[in-house]
Amino acid sequence: MRYPLRPLVTMEQLWELAREWYSTRLQPDSRRPQPAEMRKIFGRIGLVGEFWDPQSDAFGGGTAGAGTGG
């Protein structure tokens, strides 16, 4: 059985994602990024494609968006 390929994330991208995602978590008014903010964060660090669109059903629908940028 073959599973659909999922995008790969480099350690550098993972680190940048964590830094951006959790940078305000200790602030009292911290909140989860909204979909448009998520797309900007993902795009800034080179995570592009349908898989990284929080409003896409690519992951749940069984078709993965192609890869990562840079």
**CA dist., res. 50 & res. 32, Å (int):** 20
Q: Average pLDDT for residues 54-58, to the nearest whole number?
A: 83
Residue 43, domain extent: 34-65
* Residue 54 maps to a domain: yes
* Residue 20 maps to a domain: no
* Residue 9 maps to a domain: no
* Residue 40 maps to a domain: yes
Confidence of residue 69 (pLDDT cuts 50, 70, 90): very low
Per-residue confidence (pLDDT) for residue 63, from 0 to 100: 42
* Residue 2 maps to a domain: no
How many structural domains are present in the chain?
Answer: 1
**CA dist., res. 45 & res. 15, Å (int):** 10
Q: Which of 60, 55, 12 is nearest to 34 (CA)?
A: 55
What's the predicted TM-score (pTM) here? 0.71
**pLDDT tens for residues 2-52?**
887 888 999 999 999 999 999 989 999 999 899 999 999 999 999 999 889
